[in-house]
Structure 1
């Protein structure tokens, strides 16, 4: 039975990875800064701060693999991603060279968006770390698009304001989490083929489906809103037509979300 360390194990995809690893009879260790993290009772918890490296020496001891999900796109300087990965790799190299599996993003090598540049830097660190490694790039999760739409929803005005011109090939994080667990069990593979969702939709189309599923009576207001992130989603770097391997559509995701609360 393998022992797997999961960073970011309390986040959206990390929580799913933890559960699927348990389902596959692995021993799972979660590294987190939270005092009482929402993890299953059978999970071993190692507390620390990846930004400073505290607790990583203990967390990386006697493990077979690492699933590295810790990330923070809102953080100034992307310390969690860049410094955190440096600390993680340094700690892992002191032990028996565990296999590290990293979840990355489609298109990070084609965009000047600062967070993407940070993710690409992390990829390069892992590639040259001396550890056996696997890197999986995925398109945006359905959750990200849902958050974008909800942020622009103004119920009192019966409208949804969205940044115009963006396209997504979004994927369900459940499918990505399953793939990450599969990659842990396969051993080091280097760069593996990307994962994209089953459809390419404009943000306007996705907002229309959202209104229909949630029975909203709103008018969609596409606006020429500017930001480096929106520009990335307009450029098409987030689309991988030849890797439409996801099965859960945007509408199915919304209906599942609505049904499960």
Structure 2
């Protein structure tokens, strides 16, 4: 049976991808800095940022799903001034380049890379790093696919939670369509095994929603009493910050339904 290696397999999206692969009967090896709790996958221990353990992890692998990334904003759940000036590239650029080179050495048959919608217009350093890594994939001799996704609900939840202490939330009015990792994982696994290659349909959430409405739904789901201050944002600035509406596949889980699952106790108390 073919063996699939998942990098980033312990992250939010990676866990969803691994779950679907195992559910569908695929052999799975997860590349991570430390082993997880699942006993129905193989664990390959190493670090994409340094390359430690990577060659060994690729032995016997037919397909790689590269869901690994390093976003300081996502890790801390908020933006700091430094994020407008630099973002680490050891995982997303150097790590991707190293991974692609080793994939070619061992004749991996398919390299599926998870990326982000709207990178060409985005100006944040993390987006530039992601675009550089994606371009390496597109130039690779290994058969590849690129799946771009919109921002994830869990990240928005984390960022909004860091605003919860403020009595007034300044929020742009721009539209976008964030998505849940479960829907992205479904799309990624479909693209991994449908026999097609190259640039695949990008995926976003089912609903085009303004950040103001999104923040309002979050506030209500948390049972908070906060004033939301709408801020006008030009299209160019919105795109520069990654706020776009995706074209392609739409997920099924709405932001409102995700919030109901995330905060059931708050909803029931209300």
TM bin (shorter chain):
0.7 to 0.9
What SS does structure 2 have at the residue aligned with 1:153? Answer: coil
What SS does structure 2 have at the residue aligned with 1:206? Answer: helix
Q: How far, CA to CA, are the matches of 1:81 and 1:39 in structure 2?
A: 25
Query: 1:88-103 alignment to 2 at 5 Å?
Result: 88-103=99-114
Q: How far, CA to CA, are the matches of 1:167 and 1:149 in structure 2?
A: 17
Report the count of equivalent residues: 251
Provide the residue aligned with 1:256 in structure 2.
Answer: 261
Provide the residue aligned with 1:167 in structure 2.
Answer: 175
Provide the residue aligned with 2:204 in structure 1.
Answer: 196
What SS does structure 1 have at the residue aligned with 2:44? Answer: strand
What SS does structure 1 have at the residue aligned with 2:31? Answer: strand
Q: How far, CA to CA, are the matches of 1:106 and 1:233 in structure 2?
A: 10
Provide the residue aligned with 1:32 in structure 2.
Answer: 32
Q: How far, CA to CA, are the matches of 2:265 and 2:119 in structure 1?
A: 33
Could you tell me how far 1:127 is from its partner in structure 2? 1.5
Change (3 A) 1:39 1:231: farther
What SS does structure 1 have at the residue aligned with 2:30? Answer: strand
Could you tell me how far 1:235 is from its partner in structure 2? 6.3
For residue 239 of structure 1, the aligned residue among 222, 245, 250 is 245
Provide the residue aligned with 2:149 in structure 1.
Answer: 138
Provide the residue aligned with 2:16 in structure 1.
Answer: 16
What SS does structure 2 have at the residue aligned with 1:93? Answer: helix
Greater CA drift, 101-110 or 179-188: 179-188
Greater CA drift, 67-76 or 20-29: 67-76
Provide the residue aligned with 1:114 in structure 2.
Answer: 125
Q: How far, CA to CA, are the matches of 1:46 and 1:260 in structure 2?
A: 38
Change (3 A) 1:176 1:221: same
Provide the residue aligned with 2:187 in structure 1.
Answer: 179
Could you tell me how far 1:247 is from its partner in structure 2? 1.6
Query: 1:206-245 alignment to 2 at 5 Å?
Result: 206-222=214-230, 231-232=237-238, 238-240=244-246, 242-243=247-248, 245=250
Could you tell me how far 1:184 is from its partner in structure 2? 1.4
Provide the residue aligned with 1:85 in structure 2.
Answer: 96
- Cα deviation 1:67-102 (Å, max 9, x = unaligned): 101101228432110011011112111112231111
Query: RMSD over aligned Cα, in angstroms?
Result: 2.4
**Which ranges in structure 2 are unaligned for 5 or more consecutive residues?**
73-85
TM-score by length of 2: 0.85
Could you tell me how far 1:244 is from its partner in structure 2? 5.8
Q: How far, CA to CA, are the matches of 2:265 and 2:69 in structure 1?
A: 26
**Which ranges in structure 1 are unaligned for 5 or more consecutive residues?**
none
Provide the residue aligned with 1:45 in structure 2.
Answer: 43
